[in-house]
Each structure stands twice: as structure tokens, then as C-alpha cells.
């Protein structure tokens, strides 16, 4: 793990991970530095819609370390590498973490193009970033209840549709089958994706106050037409502005 001097000097308050198609969030910001993942000792991103760089910028009085893109299990990386950005952010001084992802909606009341705030998750990856390391961390409140209330109040005042539900994290890289989606609905999931849960587990072990959001980019398998990553990234880009407004208003 490498902590470059610009990141140490910047001293971020909050780390932000941007999921597929959400890189346009940074368009309204004035970065003070852009650091490629490779300069952090991280592998470059191989996924369209993931820039693979760390952007340092301020939003109001909040200094943000923005990971534009992330590392995935399905790229062939182990769980401990997937969560390396979270450890880097914590080592640089961040005490809060905002995770975002692109997800398929399983809930008929949560249509594509809208956002869901995670109340909880199902880790169905079969892996943990804590394997071989710290043990027995309490996961009763992975996603900060206080922070969720603040974001919900901001969204209601906007008004901006912001759902709240359970996210199922699977390893990928293939999309789920309709039968698997029916299983996930039975288990209580409202959205499904291929990221976030391992990062949230790492953050909980590091005592970072954490919140996470899913950009609902498509209906899950069996609920509409064929799935494509192009649809995911396009909907993500189109929905980024709404999230930017929510984030700016809440952090302010």
C-alpha cells in the first residue's frame, strides 16, 4: 500500500468510491490532484466506466478523496486487493466513506434511473477482506443510521426520490439468471450488483462511518429485456447529476 505525498498533504475528511458510469460526478469539481491507481500500488481498472484514478477535491468545506472507479473480484483480484483503496483512505486520515455502485433493481417500486440508499447488505461473494486478519467485527450497523437519516432528510426536502433497501453483492462477472433473481428476492434483496459489500466490511473493521448508494441502472434478470453494461453506464451517467446535488446539499 502506497500513500503518495499529495494525498498525505491533502488530508481528506471523506473518501468516495464512484461506481460504473458515475465518473461524471467529478465534472463540477476543481481537483487539486489526480493520482493514477498504479501510483497507489493498485492495479489499473479494466472495466469501462471506471477511470482508475484517485481525485483529490473539495466540496464546500469537505475534502474528498474520490476513487473514480474500483477494483472488482471479477477482474481476478483477491478480496484484500479489492478493499485496498479503503485502507489507503483510512491511512491518509479519512474518517468517513461514501460508496456508490450501479445495481439492478429487484423491487418493483424502485425503477431504473433512481437511487437506493443501502440499509443493509447480503454478502454472497463467498469471500471476506478480513480473512487471515482482524476477526469478529460486529456488522449490525454497517451503514451509519445517523448519516442515512441526514441523507434521507436532504432528499425529502429537495425533493429527490431516494429509496432505502438491501443490496445483494455477488462476485460476477456474469449477470444473474432469472432463477437467481427470484432467490434474491426471497432472501429480501432490493438490488443486486458485483461490488460494495467487501469495501463496506473493510470500512467497518477500520471504524469508518460508512454510507452507500446504488444507482439503479436496470431491472434485474427476468424482470425486463436483456442486460448490457452499456445500459448500466449510460443510466449511471444520466443519474450522476442527481446524486451530485444530494451529496453537495448533505455535506454542506
Q: Are 38 and 53 in contact (CB under 8 A)?
A: no
Catalytic positions: 20, 50, 72, 74-75, 102, 194-195, 218, 229
Q: Where are the alpha helices (DSSP H) in 30-135?
A: 79-82, 84-91
Backbone angles phi, psi at 230, to 5 degrees: -60, -45
- The whole-angstrom separation of Cα 111 and Cα 114 is 6
- The whole-angstrom separation of Cα 174 and Cα 185 is 18
Letter string b/e over residues 171-210, b meaning 16 or more CB atoms within 10 A of that residue's CB: beeebbeeebbbebbeeebbbbbbbbbbbbbbbbbbebbb
Q: Residue 22's closest CA among 225, 195, 189? A: 195
Residue 30, Cβ neighbours under 10 Å: how many? Answer: 7
Amino acid at each position: 500500500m502506497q500513500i503518495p505525498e499529495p494525498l498525505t498533504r491533502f488530508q481528506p475528511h471523506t473518501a468516495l468510491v464512484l461506481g460504473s458510469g458515475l465518473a461524471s460526478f467529478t465534472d463540477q469539481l476543481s481537483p487539486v490532484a489526480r493520482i493514477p491507481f498504479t501510483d497507489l500500488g493498485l492495479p489499473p481498472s479494466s472495466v469501462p466506466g471506471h477511470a482508475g484514478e484517485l481525485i483529490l477535491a473539495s466540496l464546500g468545506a469537505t475534502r474528498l478523496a474520490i476513487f473514480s472507479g474500483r477494483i472488482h473480484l471479477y477482474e481476478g483480484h483477491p478480496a484484500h486487493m479489492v478493499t485496498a483503496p479503503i485502507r489507503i483512505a483510512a491511512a491518509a486520515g479519512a474518517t468517513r466513506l461514501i460508496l456508490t455502485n450501479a445495481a439492478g433493481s429487484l423491487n418493483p417500486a424502485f425503477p431504473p434511473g433512481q437511487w437506493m440508499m443501502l440499509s443493509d447488505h447480503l454478502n454472497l461473494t463467498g469471500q471476506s477482506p478480513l480473512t487471515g486478519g482482524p476477526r469478529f467485527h460486529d456488522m449490525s450497523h454497517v451503514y451509519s443510521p445517523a448519516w442515512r437519516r441526514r441523507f434521507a432528510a436532504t432528499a425529502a426536502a429537495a425533493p429527490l426520490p431516494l429509496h432505502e433497501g438491501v443490496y445483494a453483492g455477488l462476485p460476477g462477472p456474469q449477470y444473474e439468471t432469472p432463477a437467481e433473481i427470484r432467490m434474491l428476492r426471497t432472501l429480501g434483496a432490493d438490488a443486486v450488483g458485483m461490488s460494495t459489500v467487501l469495501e463496506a466490511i473493510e470500512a467497518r473493521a477500520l471504524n469508518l462511518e460508512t454510507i452507500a448508494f446504488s444507482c439503479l441502472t436496470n431491472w434485474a434478470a427476468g424482470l425486463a429485456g436483456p442486460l448490457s453494461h452499456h445500459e448500466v453506464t449510460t443510466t449511471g451517467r444520466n443519474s450522476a447529476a442527481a446524486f451530485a446535488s444530494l451529496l453537495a446539499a448533505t455535506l454542506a
